[in-house]
Copies of this chain bind each other. A is one copy, B any other.
Amino acid sequence: MFFSIDFSNGLAIYDQIVRQVTFAVASGGLAVGEMVPSVRELAKQLAVNPNTVARAYRELQANGVLEAVRGTGLQVAAGAPKQCRQSRLRLLRERLVSVLHEAHLSGLDTATLREILNEEI
């Protein structure tokens, strides 16, 4: 799996990690039982402090997305994909709605908005 952090979009780094792991499980990029990268490895890969990754993994465990395998690491939990597919739409929709709402309030006409969307998709 490939993750990438955007340091300037307002979202906390640990939150971006939580979201991306969730999305990866939802899309099947991470299968049930598959091990996620170790805290240290992912931290290095993202150029981020291990504590930040650890915090994200802690939340994913609390969510039931990941589960610890003693002495080995963290793997995708059994019921996770179903749950993540539900979360995914909700999480994405939230951000999308927020941006579209701002675009609407900004007085941008919907034609221009659609144009920009088509360019960017």
Instruction: Please list the residues of chain A having a beta carbon within 8 angstroms of any beta carbon in chain B.
Output: 2, 4, 6-7, 9-12, 19-20, 23-24, 26-29, 49, 62, 70-71, 88-89, 92-103, 105-108, 110, 113-114, 116-117, 120-121
Q: How many angstroms between the C-alpha atoms of A4 and B20 in the bound complex?
A: 29
Contacts of A62 in B (CB 8 A): 62
A101 to chain B, nearest CB (A): 8
Docked-complex contact A121 and B106, CB < 8 angstroms: no
With beta carbons under 8 angstroms apart, the residue of B10, B49, B105, B110 that contacts A4 is: B105
Task: Apart from A19-B102, A29-B107, list 4 A-B contacts with CB within 8 A.
Answer: A20-B106, A49-B70, A92-B106, A96-B120
